[in-house]
Structure 1
Amino acid sequence: MIYKNRFGAEQNNMMNKILIVILTLLAGLSFAQTTLFEQEPNNDPYTVNQINAPVIILGEMQNSDQDMFVWEVTDVDAGYFWDIKFKGIADKLTKMDVMQLTFTEDGSGVTKVDELFSIKNLNGEVMAQSGLIFSPGRYYFGLSYAGGQNTTKSTLLDDTMLSDLGADFVAENEAIDAIKIKPQNSYQIDISQGKKQHILTAKNNSQDNPVSLKKGQQRGLFFEQQKQWITFNIDATETEQVWKIDGAVNIGEKLQLNLFNAQGQKIATTQSNALGRFNLANLKLPVGDYLIGLSSQTNALSRLEIFSEGEYIAGHEAEPNDDFSTANHFSIEQSVQATIGKDKDKDYFKFEIDEAQISSHYELKLSNLKQSKIQLCLYTSNRHKLQCKTSHQDIVLSQLSLSAGEYMVAVTDGELDNQYVLALINTGPQANMMEAEPNDDFSESQFMGQKRIVKGRFNEKETDYFVFEVNQEDQVWTIQAIGEAINGLALYNAANQNVQSVRFNRGTKRARLAQLNLQPGKHYVELKGENSAYILRAFPTGPVDQSFETEPNDDLASSQPMEFNQAKRGLLQSNEDVDVYRFHLNNEQGINLSIQPAQDADINYNLYWENMLVGKKNGQLGEQLRFRGTLPAGSYRVELKAGKNPSDDIYQLEINPVNLADCQHDCEPNDSAHQANVINPSIHVAGEVATHGDDDWYQIPAFTTKTTVTFQSDTADIKHDLNGYINYDQKLTPEFNPDKNQLSFVVPANQASYYKIDQRAANYDYRVLINHQAIEAPKQYNNIQLSINNVPKKLQAYSPYAQLIEAQLSVKNTGRQAQQLTFKAEVNDFRWKIDFADKTAEFNVNANETVSIPVVI
């Protein structure tokens, strides 16, 4: 890579990107990792973005853009090992060069470029380098890219799978291909801090006075005299093992390693590579003492480890290989015959993939010769499980796309004397669009291509994970999978939290998550199925329509707001889908909530006030649902769910205010004493119980004297249909008059009474008498004016402590007569309480008088 234009004066004119720094705590580590979004211009050493590691760098390159970052490695940083992960741009060759620069004395030009190492990334996969050592100094990271998939031509043109499914699928795919999609041109660099280096004490170190190093223990070395001498021993129990001497020196430094036997003969030698790495592998050493001589050109810092690699095999396994440390080595295209030597025996193997082999797909195959139960598992070198399968048949882990490094294989749970053959086969170059295993876990999600499309196959019952990026706002997206046997489709965010999911009947050919309002960033897809090929793709379907629901909206956190007289439209395409809407009432309000499903659908709804259910109904096919009632001030949510008949057609939801005076009888919700309707002055109550799966409750305000309240019915026996209460739950003793079909309750003075009409009453119509008289209509006070004063403009809305607000209620009587008034206070949040300072709510206000009443909120 040549950085000619990096060192010139010309700068990229792209719009500046926002630089955001987010601190996140990494579990189990004591330092904070920073996430940095690159800021343009950063095309050369003069506009470079400064970074401090550990850090995650997120960036994007468009057209001929290049990006550059600089890391100032301190003395403290140099005392740790470092790991670098680099994910390039999908479907393009992305390159990261790490270099050191020498500038002119005045800093206006670059006189020397020392390119230390490069990491190339072909298709957006993650490339990793670990255990790196950096000396103090400034390190420049240069990013560039080239090539890319042709996005103007259908990637599924003439696909036989689409043709087999039918003409509708072919036409649908062509329509999706015509959608113009903004390319995914983002990359990510993760520089993470590893373990602290533990330096071996090596006073007066020389060939005659070497320092001893315990096998299997990694240690750091500081070259005071540019030479180090290390000794170790091989005993009689270790001669059948294969040994490896592995280490690294500061990046940019050169190191020579020589291995001597006890007679002083040099038996092996190696040098460090561009990354500072060096190793001597495949060592079969006889009993004796050995000497390692390390030579550096400078006072470098190095790490060194001597460890057993198990045994290299050809054709047959070699026992013992019953744990990771004694795993047998085998090579690509080499088969290994093995036998379960004891019941529940465990056999471990390992193989390596080098840089030249990462562009191929591989197949790990276990031929189960006795067709008895056995398990095959693939692990990374640090024992992270990638994929496992158990079967009585042959087992194949196919479509494996493996980065450079060492991998472990475990064969377990086999029966005694079960024979098997293990082989790793190169199945050819990786292809665009094709699924690459392992991707059976969220952490192993495969990046989808530029057109956000992938073809894959389920082997038996399987789950595959994919990730794609959204880099444009205000777009609605659809995620769709087609195949012969799709069982589930789910969307996750980058925190591995389920955003939207749908389960399907076995054998579903099309699975879809539609109307997704996805924000810029990474989005993860989980696809479930069995024994079939599939095509998965994500695509935008147009700008966000504010009147149409957008997913996810399955809970209160993702619910969509509603306003009066503004209809919402949406889809409930499966029995698993739930749509949630929210609204707020500042005051007590009569509302009319209507839900019109598609003609071929039925919808069930629940209406909540805070967390209290205040309305519900399960609808019939095509039935319009209504909730008409009086609601107190507060926050509400409406949950809609498909009944027995989901539909691909649209439903409509609307909420409108209604005049409280229009609600003469049975105003829902009135299914508890706390929500009881005040009995209307029309001297009778009428309604229908169980319309919302509840009883109906009514309230009669307190009287100053003991009062008899009587209910009378001319249509049905009233004896068992009605109960009276005070204090919400203290039952009153009824008195039944069978001749007049009346039920009476004696209510103590100054007590409001509550009446529950049982669901058995069905349709009811009762006359209400007070002391055997009809209810008098309450007086209307048109000449009373109210206002509240001394309320602070700012409230501690999120204070963790209780608040106390002292205010003044101003009451003005503009009439000609004195008035005896009783006040009732309402709030729009159940956590607020209002009290009158003198503990009474009754006040006398003379004609043309203004009274100030203290209230405490």
Structure 2
Amino acid sequence: MKLFWVLILLAYNVSAEKFFYEQEPNNSPIDGNHFKSEQTILGDMQGKDQDMFIWNVSDGDADFQWNIEFEGLPGKLTRLDLMQVEFTEDGSGVTKVDTIFSMSSPDGSVPLQTNNLVVTPGKYYIGLSYAGGQSKPSASPLFGDIGLEDMESEIQQENNQIDSIEVKEQDFYKIRITKGYKINQARIKEDKNSKESPYSLRADSTVGIYFFNKSLWLDFKINEKQTNQVWKVHGQSELGKPLTLKLYDSANNLLASHQSDKRGTFYLSDLKLSVGSYLLELISQDSSTAIIEVANTGEFVSGNEAEPNNKLKIANQIKIGEAITGRLSDNRDEDYFIFEVDEELSHKQLKLSVVNDNKENLRFCLWDDNQKRLKCNDTKEDIILDNLSLSTGSYFISLSRSANEAPYSVNVADVGPRNPIMETEPNDSFPQAVAMNEKRLVKGTTVGNEYDFYKFDVDDSDRMWTIQAVGTNLDRLMIYNARGDAIQRATNQAKSNRLKLSNLILSPGEHVVSLNGTDSKYVLRVFPAGKIDESLEREPNDSDIQATALNIGETKKGLLADANDVDLYHFRINGEQGLHLKIQPPADGALSYQLDREGVRVGRKVSQKGEAVEFKGLLKPGEYQIRIQPHRDLSDDLYEVSLKTYDAYTCIEDCEPNDNPYQANNMSGVSVVKGQSGTHDDYDWYFLPESEVQRKVTFVDKVGNNINGIVGFTDYGKTSLVTERNSKEQLIDFTIPVNKAGYFRIQVSKSDYEFDIKIDNQPVQQQIISADVSLSVSGLPEKIKAFSPESQRLKGQIMVENKGHEIVDVHLKIHTGDYRWITDISTDELQLQPGETKQIPISILTPAELIDTIITRIVFVAETKGVVVKQYSHEIKADTNAELVNPEEFWGVQKPLLGGINVAAHSMGAKRTEEDIAMNVSSVGYGFDELFDNMTALNSGLKYRGGRKTEKDIVTIEFAGNKPVDVVGTILNPLSGGSSYKYLKDFELHLSLDGVNFQNVLQGSLQPVGAEQSFVLSQPYKARFARLYMINSQDDIVKTNLSLGEWKVIAAPDTVFDSFNIASPNHGGFVVWSKPQISGDWDKPILTEELEHASARSRSNDDWQWVIGFHNQRAAFIEKIQWLPSQADTGNRSNVEPMKSVKVFVSSSSNVGPWQLVADEKLDTDKSLKEITFEKPVWARYVKFVTDNVKISNYAYFPETIRILEKQVGSDYQSILGEWGELSHQALYEKLNPANKLTVKDERQNHSKNTAFDISQVKTTKGQVQLEYAD
């Protein structure tokens, strides 16, 4: 799970930060974890553990300064040692360890850091260890010192209960190693540096220096203007190499000296220097490096500020514990102060106070040494930060923006040891989040309206967590991912003293939480709350890409305790399916939901408090999203959302979806309209088809609804109908014009509605059709193999019995929950005598690679006179542990079409008829030719314009050649521009021999899915022309913006065609790679028929070679290769050489071999076609050409065209250009040479290192790996 944590962090971190997680064992310098360059090291220590890391510093790394930041274990004393280590000759033991420096974190709450380190190429060893710790979080009263005494007894008891929960203490640490500024080396010559000839330094400029000898001499000058300033000479020596700094005046008097500390830091500060030259002597070791700067610093002040101090560089230095008074004169005045925090102070709590004497508006800011703003306040009041905890370094205070004169005093005081239970500042932003103590408990306050950020670690991956804040004036509680995005929040709508985030499922690792309040006093705690409930939603799930998957048959639980929260779920169905969505809010909560299909609303309802809302309807294939939000009544309890199958084919009342006019229920022959609307904020739509006569339709209310909630339209809800309302008799009349359909929208005041329907004042006589028929299915399995590369053939029987006393005619239909499942029924029309039973064999072919746990529902329907009288459903689950059922090779296209050529493709020579081109002009639509280009993509293909004036929407194509072909089927792919609601739905295929007289050979319907869908004709039909009639779109609207991506017409697989040049780009041929890289676009012209005279210049002695691949990387049976030499006129150019020979290799495996040599030919110097014919055709997925190179810098002309011809297509060979499945790499080669398959169940159980299967005694082994397992 540790690795998972690292991956989570990497996925969400938007910076360039690199993470490295410790790998055990790493307890000593011998087995330490190696790393290099910038890294953030993440690790944990438990028991007697200690960790070692080896920092490999390169020559390039040594050109930079380096920074180390260290966060120790929460609540424990954690120590980092940076060491140099010497080993025995064989490297098996350690002979010497030198600790360069150490960093000790008493409780992990404040990061420790050391900056501007100078390193040398080689290895540094970083050791981590810890002890019991110095923190005592229970030493302070839980509430007394932040003024929550009135809540203490209640919450103290609750916290005692939380303390009793067994929870693993936080044991994570973090080491961040970052690259600083590049070291600009001073140009000091070895033989030219001496006391008499020093190197001159410029003020405020850091330089790198290299010790050729043990001492180095530098100088700098002070002029008249600089005598009032305070100076500091400081720098950093190379780690592990001490340095002594000495300062002399111009008379050679020693003024001061300083020895570098263990981290290499050296300095002489608080220097007040008179006009003149000053000499610096630096004494170190040979061949070492250091950096040095002579810096103009702010003056140390005592009592009053010293002007000027209006810039960071000249900030007044203040001593800890001494108050400084000052004055802002106006809005343009700024005052800066600087103070230092050493390692001792970094373990203390500091109090920073600014007394604003006149209570004038001013801005206070606290900055770090890198001028990064840590905290800012605009206020008239005093500034009191009594809980500052700062890591080592320099810090700046700025005061500004006062419109009037503003006297003030500033003080930074040491107030003693830090209490790890108390909040520490600064913690106002995500990057400043402060580590919580080992109990994940903190007490704090907010000043004005502010956010406090904290971080904590989790290592119990099987638990849920609760984050709770108790206190005054709390506004918002939020938890974030590693990128800084809030993933869940609780808002204090009820103005209570408690905010809570419950049932959190947190991945192991670091998490950040923030609490927002206004002058708040609070206790914040994070604690475990039981084992993970796998049915719980996973936050965040409030965006499209983060929506939680909800599979059919599943129930999920979620929490919507914040008014602005939203939970998104998604599911996909691959076939028309009846589904039942149910959302049960908690007893004291109310919710609303919206169900969308690809951005279009399908259903929406609002619940009352504690009331379940449901959707039951027949849904089309596609991607669906469920959006759930709180509605008025918030609750801290969980809601439930479930998705189940539903017998939708027998629905006769309020059949969802019917939320818009395009989904309206047909009212034809219906005497009563009933359903639910009203309080659920739901629309229900109904329609009557168009008629040649005008009609008056009357709705008569039966349950006391407001009839004003019914509205009538024509034109899909765009034009209102003439309406008459009679409130007294509770009825409403609508007049539907001639040749218009009527649409009726119902949204009434009560949840239930019921209306009697009259047409032209006459009650509708609804015909009741029924039949006493039983329906059942046997033989189909309940489970089939998941992730099988093969299809599975399922066989069974349908039993239909007539239990009545009259003859019944029954029509059988089979609906699958996945359009890819192909059903085959021996007969679908039955006539049953009274008491007669018939059994009808059926078979179902599944697709390959079914996802584990997916359940596919198959619905068998019996109809009489177009009315469903019985239905039976059977569910089949894909399971990795199930047996393979009747495996068959999977092709993705129906078998009668397998290998057949698409004779409608432009690449085959087909073309649209002149009549078609004249009819389908730009005002009708566009993209007609894209139907025949063998490509589909979003925003491509044919798109008809809405409102076009065409009588019929047809496209006509003429096949290549002048001979008829046997057409066996058609393939259409809806993937195109626009919404799937605009994809073509119903169509007809017409064929013709002469282009004039067409025969309707197929009526079909497409699923709204952007994938190839194949249709087989009842018999082959000879034809030279094909015409596609496009009737309507998926939303059943005529003359809408209908679209279609691809239309193929498939000839019988045994149809004879001449050999195809499969190297042609028109047929999918392409150059895969060349070696060496050759300039220019020579690889494109050598496959085309144009004479483009491609040439290239030789840049090496290596042979020229290139590899050609074919359509969808399929393997073809090739007979010959044609090489047309360059036809360029090279004249008398001496730097042009001909290609003298070519070797041809083939591979049926990959574009890098293994290769088989099939030809080695000399090339003639003339320009005639060279033809290489094989004695026997050879299988090739890739063909490699190798030619001798020419002299370096000379040019060679490549062939104008290379043609690779496969075997002639006919009864014994089908082309790779035939239909073998959309984008499939398989073709006839795989059909004739099926891959070896695992025919017996694998009993080896070699799922771990300890149970590895011994392959030393076998030549080959076969197996199958699954998710969550490995062999």
TM-score (norm 2): 0.58
Tell me whether 1:200 sits opposite 2:186 in the alignment: yes
User: Which residue of structure 1 lines up, in the alignment, with residue 49 of structure 2?
Assistant: 65
Kept in 2: contact 1:375–1:388 (CA 8 A): yes
- CA apart distance, 1:789: 10
Structure 1 distance, partners of 2:198, 2:13, is: 40
- CA apart distance, 1:498: 0.7
Tell me whether 1:139 sits opposite 2:114 in the alignment: no
Instruction: Mark the CA change 1:599 to 1:193 in structure 2 (over 3 Å): closer, same or farther.
Output: closer
Tell me whether 1:338 sits opposite 2:326 in the alignment: yes
Tell me whether 1:824 sits opposite 2:1005 in the alignment: yes
User: Which residue of structure 1 lines up, in the alignment, with residue 80 of structure 2?
Assistant: 96
Structure 2 gaps, min length 5: 770-808, 813-826, 829-841, 849-889, 894-934, 943-968, 974-999, 1016-1025, 1032-1047, 1051-1218, 1223-1271
Tell me whether 1:743 sits opposite 2:728 in the alignment: no
* 1:661 partner SS: helix
Structure 1 distance, partners of 2:389, 2:280, is: 37
User: Which residue of structure 2 lines up, in the alignment, with residue 839 of structure 1?
Assistant: 1028
Structure 1 distance, partners of 2:465, 2:7, is: 28
User: Which residue of structure 2 lines up, in the alignment, with residue 378 of structure 1?
Assistant: 366
Map 1:224-373; keep pairs closer than 5 Å.
224-373=212-361
CA deviation map 1:254-308 (0-9, x unaligned) = 2222212222222121222211221111111111122222222211111111111
Map 1:793-808; keep pairs closer than 5 Å.
none
Instruction: Mark the CA change 1:265 to 1:405 in structure 2 (over 3 Å): closer, same or farther.
Output: same
CA deviation map 1:208-238 (0-9, x unaligned) = 2222221111111122233322222111111
CA deviation map 1:598-620 (0-9, x unaligned) = 44332222222232232223333
Tell me whether 1:128 sits opposite 2:113 in the alignment: yes
Kept in 2: contact 1:687–1:764 (CA 8 A): no
Tell me whether 1:670 sits opposite 2:859 in the alignment: no
- From 10, 18, 22, the equivalent of 1:38 is 22
Tell me whether 1:81 sits opposite 2:68 in the alignment: no
Map 1:4-43; keep pairs closer than 5 Å.
33-43=17-27
Tell me whether 1:434 sits opposite 2:422 in the alignment: yes
Instruction: Mark the CA change 1:413 to 1:148 in structure 2 (over 3 Å): closer, same or farther.
Output: same
Instruction: Mark the CA change 1:626 to 1:680 in structure 2 (over 3 Å): closer, same or farther.
Output: farther
TM-score (norm 1): 0.84
Structure 2 distance, partners of 1:27, 1:470, is: 18
Structure 2 distance, partners of 1:650, 1:19, is: 27
User: Which residue of structure 1 lines up, in the alignment, with residue 518 of structure 2?
Assistant: 530
Instruction: Mark the CA change 1:123 to 1:291 in structure 2 (over 3 Å): closer, same or farther.
Output: same
Tell me whether 1:50 sits opposite 2:34 in the alignment: yes
Instruction: Count residues with an aligned counterpart.
Output: 810
- From 701, 705, 713, the equivalent of 2:698 is 713
* 1:274 partner SS: coil
Tell me whether 1:182 sits opposite 2:168 in the alignment: yes
User: Which residue of structure 1 lines up, in the alignment, with residue 93 of structure 2?
Assistant: 109
Instruction: Mark the CA change 1:826 to 1:115 in structure 2 (over 3 Å): closer, same or farther.
Output: same
Instruction: Mark the CA change 1:181 to 1:741 in structure 2 (over 3 Å): closer, same or farther.
Output: closer
Question: What amino acid does structure 2 have at the position aligned with 1:824?
Answer: S
User: Which residue of structure 2 lines up, in the alignment, with residue 512 of structure 1?
Assistant: 500
Kept in 2: contact 1:486–1:506 (CA 8 A): no
CA deviation map 1:183-218 (0-9, x unaligned) = 211111111122222111123222222222211111
Question: What amino acid does structure 1 have at the position aligned with 2:735?
Answer: L
Structure 1 distance, partners of 2:381, 2:46, is: 49
CA deviation map 1:635-665 (0-9, x unaligned) = 3233332222222344443333321233213
Instruction: Mark the CA change 1:40 to 1:808 in structure 2 (over 3 Å): closer, same or farther.
Output: same
Instruction: Mark the CA change 1:719 to 1:620 in structure 2 (over 3 Å): closer, same or farther.
Output: closer
| Greater Cα offset, 655-664 or 77-86 | 655-664
| Greater Cα offset, 79-88 or 573-582 | 573-582
Instruction: Mark the CA change 1:768 to 1:631 in structure 2 (over 3 Å): closer, same or farther.
Output: farther
Question: Looking at both structures, which has the greater relative contact order when contacts are Cα pairs under 8 Å and sequence separation is at least 6?
Answer: 1
Question: What amino acid does structure 1 have at the position aligned with 2:217?
Answer: W
Tell me whether 1:449 sits opposite 2:433 in the alignment: no
- CA apart distance, 1:469: 0.7
Question: What amino acid does structure 1 have at the position aligned with 2:315?
Answer: A
Map 1:485-500; keep pairs closer than 5 Å.
485-500=473-488
* 1:839 partner SS: strand
Structure 1 distance, partners of 2:518, 2:565, is: 23
Instruction: Name the % identity.
Output: 34
| Greater Cα offset, 682-691 or 57-66 | 682-691
- CA apart distance, 1:16: 10
Structure 2 distance, partners of 1:636, 1:394, is: 56
| Greater Cα offset, 651-660 or 216-225 | 651-660
Structure 2 distance, partners of 1:793, 1:142, is: 59
- CA apart distance, 1:821: 7.2
CA deviation map 1:127-154 (0-9, x unaligned) = 1111111111221111111113799x97
Structure 2 distance, partners of 1:799, 1:278, is: 66
Question: What amino acid does structure 2 have at the position aligned with 1:100?
Answer: Q
| Greater Cα offset, 194-203 or 37-46 | 194-203
Map 1:734-773; keep pairs closer than 5 Å.
743-747=735-739, 755-757=743-745, 759=747, 764-766=755-757
Kept in 2: contact 1:709–1:768 (CA 8 A): no
User: Which residue of structure 1 lines up, in the alignment, with residue 202 of structure 2?
Assistant: 214
- CA apart distance, 1:26: 13
Instruction: Mark the CA change 1:709 to 1:495 in structure 2 (over 3 Å): closer, same or farther.
Output: farther
- From 150, 153, 177, the equivalent of 1:191 is 177
Structure 1 distance, partners of 2:940, 2:847, is: 19
User: Which residue of structure 2 lines up, in the alignment, with residue 387 of structure 1?
Assistant: 375
Instruction: Mark the CA change 1:708 to 1:431 in structure 2 (over 3 Å): closer, same or farther.
Output: same
Structure 2 distance, partners of 1:443, 1:23, is: 14
Structure 2 distance, partners of 1:23, 1:394, is: 40
Name which one, 1 or 2, has greater alpha-carbon Rg: 2
Instruction: Mark the CA change 1:558 to 1:470 in structure 2 (over 3 Å): closer, same or farther.
Output: farther
Structure 1 distance, partners of 2:370, 2:936, is: 46
Give RMSD over aligned pairs: 4.2
| Greater Cα offset, 404-413 or 16-25 | 16-25
Instruction: Mark the CA change 1:44 to 1:368 in structure 2 (over 3 Å): closer, same or farther.
Output: same
Instruction: Mark the CA change 1:298 to 1:25 in structure 2 (over 3 Å): closer, same or farther.
Output: farther
* 1:462 partner SS: strand
CA deviation map 1:792-813 (0-9, x unaligned) = 6689x9999989997599xxxx
Structure 1 distance, partners of 2:8, 2:653, is: 57
Kept in 2: contact 1:337–1:422 (CA 8 A): yes
Question: What amino acid does structure 2 have at the position aligned with 1:185?
Answer: D
Question: What amino acid does structure 1 have at the position aligned with 2:1004?
Answer: F
Kept in 1: contact 2:463–2:529 (CA 8 A): yes
* 1:613 partner SS: strand
| Greater Cα offset, 344-353 or 557-566 | 557-566
Kept in 1: contact 2:359–2:381 (CA 8 A): yes
- CA apart distance, 1:538: 0.4
Structure 2 distance, partners of 1:223, 1:820, is: 93
- CA apart distance, 1:757: 3.4
Question: What amino acid does structure 1 have at the position aligned with 2:165?
Answer: I
Instruction: Mark the CA change 1:405 to 1:688 in structure 2 (over 3 Å): closer, same or farther.
Output: closer
Instruction: Mark the CA change 1:588 to 1:306 in structure 2 (over 3 Å): closer, same or farther.
Output: same
- CA apart distance, 1:402: 1.3
Structure with more strand by fraction: 1
Structure 2 distance, partners of 1:179, 1:735, is: 68
Structure 2 distance, partners of 1:156, 1:794, is: 71
